[in-house]
Structure 1
């Protein structure tokens, strides 16, 4: 990637180009297509995802794509197709899979790697793609469909939205090629922050999505897609051409669920229990409402969040106590402590919510800790009883309600520091976004046996709030347990509670792997309104491998959450469960290696695929210092930075190559740039001097990479000069760094001395980084905390 100064009049955009993008004849990005084929049968979907890559350059290429999958989906197969050959992927311990992949590339063989970085964020890396070659990778997965109020939902995410990255940058090389540096709070931030295209980028990735629906004996009443234009033929729904990868695909299927116990004949079961017709009970509640007001909530999301929060306040009764906290980088309260839900206090809370607007970063841990403290400690102000509350007696239900888009990167840190306390409360989450972080929000709600309601548009808000209103109330049945099957200890998913309109789903394993039809049954016990309740459900044998896969995925999620909360001795059990049942997790990876040698060695260049900006997001304003004078372009004659997105070509925070915005992680404890738009830190509009510490991680990384360059030095040095010019400008014209950038940018001119320039660059960068050229030895990123 080269960054050059141009007069805006000299670089008028093409009529069909996106902002910041210039035309190239070779094509812009390695990812050509994403094809999704779903087969929905009842409340389970089988999905195949095909991702097509093409190398438009004259050198071998390694392409990396960071993308989402449904957080409850079980990835059970992976293949690579190239040059008429199909290579099956093998599921291995993650470190071993990466070693196999790296060795194959060094030997000139084609290889592909599939890894999970979050329950809903995955990375595909394809190496040694030959010039002009196309490679297709395929993922096979199974996912359960959540069901509420007479409708099942098939949600398939299509973009990883920018996430707020808290913490201080770590020393050493980044573990990924993304936009944000790794931090002590998010040690793999560089793996989950792909660069973001500017709106309207031309020639987007071709997307196709088709869902075939089999009601499986249920009466299908209606199918509706809420965010995409679709065409329907019978029970098949298909996206219309031209849709972009910028928001979740959501298909709602209206039919009546029924209580059922499915046995796969291989030792796994899936139980569905429709809510019983018992009277709801109401107990006094202590409710803490947390509203996310960070920069990523700008626009329609903030409007919807305010409305949702106000509706929740209106549901409170005189016997309840509550608090309202709004947060970004700081926390504000409508009033001190827990207060009775009187008309006056509810009015004060709604008035406070009406003044809330989006700003700052998503510092979620602090408000969660404050909510926990409010619900677990007492003070004179908190103990004021609303009239009649004492007469009702009984314990108070402790409830946390979080309204957010969940776009944070430090999920594991939050679970570790707050998960234990939240598991003793009821946690309900309202996720508002068209590309919501559903995996994390579902994990939070699952800790407290609560509900996670996702709102993808203002049109969906009223229906969603009707549902969340019932969830905030007491559940119909609590204290659940199972009897009947010979259950394997430790394999049954969290039972939780039964809420109105929401069937209970439980999966697990039993010892009799070959029951006769109709001879197995399970009885579920619980308390309804304080009285014993039970229901017996006969079993049906269904030879469906998805039942076992869905159980394994749920089991792995539970184990990974426990690991994140501090039980680090579970690592081997997680790996064993993943490899035994063939389901991908964060501690394993699929690797596909071709046996043929196709290149002389490792890929000559690497590219990370930038992603679409999420639909409905308002992008940060471009800094005045850059607007009109800083453009990025791919040099057709300089494939050293194909696509402008090589990991080694990390641009200044906030900028990427070829029309991409790099959503940089904020650094509140190491310089504190202002936060706009995404809730991410961006360079200030006027240069600030003497802030070398803010770009020190970038300079350290550049120095480490520079020391490994052995061939093509002049071209590499010229590219390095263009990269160094951006941070020099950010520092307000740092004399030494600016001079080095100018010298290196001239490296490709006739007569340039590669050895002298290389030595000069090493000398200056070593001095600027305080003589810290050696990388710090670090554990593999998935084991770091």
Structure 2
């Protein structure tokens, strides 16, 4: 069978013939990164990848080289190796602080060493130290990644450049955490680790890039392969990049497969081959963790992979929606991205009907509203006004994303489904509350955003549209996951229509909701199953988890269709040999735990470390370290270089921005306000962007840049001064996402403010119509389940939650359930409702950074 490879308008992406790549001539020679090689083997819907990076010391003294680079956000890194001077040193996975200590000790003793760390789900750092003059060192990373599948096609996306990110906040006085160009701030305490210097285009002596992918359909019907952004050649089953391609945009293959439902049961391999090496102390610390309830050492375990194809011929009934569209118009969105973002936003507005309400927020350093009064009816006139507003937007300013997201959540909370006095005819159910974010995601304060907004996403479906050729996919995917929504990545205008069709379907009602799994002859390990979610048209559902015992049994998937009828399908398990399944599940499970940590559950750090070490998968709290036993020098390296990266394809770099050679800051900030924006006060502009008030702005007023397009003609209000690192206590900050996983234990006093707030809300909801009151009790049940988990156990709350889950059934007495809920909450709180997050229960607490500074 011949499978064609169809390029997506390659004339738009063909590199300039004299364009350079990844290296810069300095007074001491070329920069250290010589080559990057990526080899992928795509088997069905999973890809195994090896990344090889070659470094050379061009200097006459010993060198430490640092390279900040991207990997797919869902990839599981399972092995690390350093090769130098005919020596091969396998990396050891350790707790991050211990790995750093081992690395620094080796350098001080004159030994060669390398360390690999994760700074964001899709941003990683490798440091290679004590490279002697003229020596070449190779490091290898092994990883596995699942391929997302929709509408008959899977996508293999491999990022190749870390795009510049806007860094808000006030600089902190601590020594920098890394060697990047942005100072660490209270909002992004590791900004210097994720902001490598950027090369101007056209430099000679490029980094040699090679990338190839071998495609094995694994029994699936492969009909077509499409390449986006890069030119490729095919030899047999191997697709390769043409020579001369640049490290400035994502590599993307779309594979047209015919998917089918199935349940694969993958037994664990023997311990010696299930993961990388760990020390005896690390193994002792990880023993029995189990990523949930631990299995006894004698029990065989494995990973299950469940795939459910949506029912054919089913149609989702329309439902009213409250939609808030948030559009990024910051300077990094200039050029084609701003055009695509406007089109995307306009497409979303056009899909709304008279039964919906909506609001449009656009933001850079300030937030602008298409409608000053919040949500408005989606009439023809209002939709026209919204599209007209969108058509006038141009890129400018900084990416202050937190404020518009909080404003969107406020609108949906204040004007949401409970505010509809007269639901549209035929739609008695409350409206779905939906937030759509259109952005490139290039911010550094992801953890602050998740902490401040993540715990409020439980009742809002969040969809993210990432527009860029090097998009911040990890952050946008985490937002969509917390909001049980969808993340669409758009790398070109050609891809926009297809992505918007997906978002349109997702904003609409799902086909099957309230999905649950019932095992038959299969012993599932508690608290290890990934989120089940709902079934949407054209989107197969994939669920993974852990099981004990023999690889046999079945799973029945049960749910409810949109018209209230029960739905189920039974899938028999079959043994499989998917070597990546265990690692892919572990990475997804770790991501859930990390998101809960970012939202506010600080007790999870040790559990995250233990899970990472047990399953041999790199995460934010662990690191791979490879240390040579041979001494090659007389101490620590004498020279340090952080490898500059390419400007992402499609970005514009102004000539006014000063660039410097290796080892020196390229720029203190790639953003500025004009005199009109700051009122002539340079200090205000520097303050807003996190630079020192005494430091000169790096972009002259009015100059463009990746983060600062020309300012609007009318003066704009300067961004408000950010608060210091200390923050007020909020019970919401401690609450993990409802129903996602097991929460940390506390006592009743710790959750009493939360229960008092629930009591206040419950009393306020007594005047709602019966249907809304029943829905409210059912939602309350999910929140009480989380409280029970936080307490470890509470018989009365658990029993109440179990009964409230049935509140939407007409045969249950609403008044009885309501009275029982009020009585129990009054008894547990002493009747004190109203002490919410801003009430007497509030206390100051410092936010400990998500990452490791030492």
TM-score, normalised on structure 2?
A: 0.73
Which of 36, 42, 45 in structure 2 is aligned with 1:43? 45
Q: Is the 8 A contact 1:165 1:665 kept in 2?
A: no
Q: Deviations over 1:329-352 (max 9, x none)?
A: 111111121111100000000000
Q: Is the 8 A contact 2:40 2:49 kept in 1?
A: yes
Instruction: Please state how far the C-alpha of 1:605 moved relative to its aligned partner.
Output: 0.8
Q: Is the 8 A contact 2:22 2:646 kept in 1?
A: no
Q: Classify 1:400/1:784 alpha carbon distance in 2 versus 1 (closer, same or farther; 3 Å).
A: farther
Partner of 1:442: 477
Which of 329, 345, 359 in structure 2 is aligned with 1:309? 345
Q: Classify 1:16/1:212 alpha carbon distance in 2 versus 1 (closer, same or farther; 3 Å).
A: closer
Partner of 2:266: 264
Which of 583, 586, 590 in structure 2 is aligned with 1:556? 590
Instruction: Please state how far the C-alpha of 1:543 moved relative to its aligned partner.
Output: 2.1
Tell me whether 1:279 sits opposite 2:302 in the alignment.
no
Partner of 2:510: 475
Partner of 2:540: 503
Distance 1:401 1:83 in 2: 52
Q: Classify 1:352/1:88 alpha carbon distance in 2 versus 1 (closer, same or farther; 3 Å).
A: same
Which of 645, 649, 652 in structure 2 is aligned with 1:618? 652
Alignment of 1:323-722 (within 5 A): 323-335=359-371, 336-378=373-415, 383=420, 389-484=424-519, 485-512=522-549, 514-515=550-551, 519-529=552-562, 530-622=564-656, 632=660, 644-646=661-663, 649-650=664-665, 652-653=667-668, 667=689, 671=693, 677=704, 680=707
Instruction: Please state how far the C-alpha of 1:468 moved relative to its aligned partner.
Output: 1.4
Alignment of 1:93-108 (within 5 A): 93-108=95-110
Partner of 1:87: 89
Distance 2:103 2:111 in 1: 9
Instruction: Please state how far the C-alpha of 1:477 moved relative to its aligned partner.
Output: 1.3
Instruction: Please state how far the C-alpha of 1:201 moved relative to its aligned partner.
Output: 1.8
Q: Classify 1:591/1:234 alpha carbon distance in 2 versus 1 (closer, same or farther; 3 Å).
A: same
Distance 1:355 1:467 in 2: 26
Distance 1:135 1:676 in 2: 41
Distance 2:666 2:473 in 1: 30
Alignment of 1:724-735 (within 5 A): none
Distance 2:710 2:377 in 1: 44
Q: Deviations over 1:70-117 (max 9, x none)?
A: 000000000000001110000000000000001111111100000000
Partner of 1:110: 112
* Equivalent residue pairs, number: 646
Q: Deviations over 1:627-662 (max 9, x none)?
A: xxxx85xxxxxxxxxxx322xx3355259xxxxxxx
Runs of 5+ consecutive residues of structure 1 not aligned to the other structure:
1-14, 633-643, 656-663, 685-693, 695-777
Partner of 1:231: 233
Secondary structure, counterpart of 1:460 in structure 2: helix
Partner of 1:59: 61
Partner of 1:161: 163
Instruction: Please state how far the C-alpha of 1:676 moved relative to its aligned partner.
Output: 6.2
Aligned alpha-carbon RMSD (Å):
2.7
Partner of 2:144: 142
Q: Deviations over 1:495-549 (max 9, x none)?
A: 121111111111111122x32xxx4111111111122111111112112221100
Q: Deviations over 1:394-421 (max 9, x none)?
A: 1110000111110111111111000111
Distance 2:237 2:367 in 1: 48
Q: Is the 8 A contact 1:20 1:198 kept in 2?
A: no
Q: Classify 1:30/1:503 alpha carbon distance in 2 versus 1 (closer, same or farther; 3 Å).
A: same
Q: Which of 43-52 and 17-26 deviates more?
A: 17-26
Q: Classify 1:548/1:381 alpha carbon distance in 2 versus 1 (closer, same or farther; 3 Å).
A: closer
Distance 2:20 2:137 in 1: 27
Distance 1:438 1:133 in 2: 35
Q: Is the 8 A contact 2:355 2:378 kept in 1?
A: yes
Q: Deviations over 1:326-382 (max 9, x none)?
A: 111111111121111100000000000000010011111111111111111139997
Partner of 1:205: 207
Distance 1:19 1:511 in 2: 50
Distance 2:418 2:483 in 1: 26
Distance 1:135 1:784 in 2: 26
Tell me whether 1:782 sits opposite 2:815 in the alignment.
no
Secondary structure, counterpart of 1:310 in structure 2: helix
Instruction: Please state how far the C-alpha of 1:566 moved relative to its aligned partner.
Output: 0.6
Instruction: Please state how far the C-alpha of 1:18 moved relative to its aligned partner.
Output: 6.7
Q: Is the 8 A contact 1:359 1:679 kept in 2?
A: no
Q: Deviations over 1:573-632 (max 9, x none)?
A: 000000000000000000000010011111011000000000001124415xx6xxxx85
Q: Is the 8 A contact 1:362 1:679 kept in 2?
A: no
Partner of 2:174: 172
Runs of 5+ consecutive residues of structure 2 not aligned to the other structure:
1-16, 269-301, 671-685, 712-720, 722-846
Q: Which of 233-242 and 344-353 deviates more?
A: 233-242
Distance 1:161 1:556 in 2: 25
Q: Deviations over 1:669-725 (max 9, x none)?
A: 8649568655547999xxxxxxxxx9xxxxxxxxxxxxxxxxxxxxxxxxxxxxxxx
Q: Classify 1:607/1:379 alpha carbon distance in 2 versus 1 (closer, same or farther; 3 Å).
A: closer
Q: Deviations over 1:209-230 (max 9, x none)?
A: 0000000001110011110010
Q: Deviations over 1:417-439 (max 9, x none)?
A: 00111232111111100000111
Instruction: Please state how far the C-alpha of 1:235 moved relative to its aligned partner.
Output: 2.3
Q: Is the 8 A contact 2:440 2:466 kept in 1?
A: yes
Distance 1:553 1:149 in 2: 25
Distance 2:175 2:34 in 1: 29
Tell me whether 1:121 sits opposite 2:123 in the alignment.
yes
Secondary structure, counterpart of 1:392 in structure 2: coil
Partner of 1:300: 336
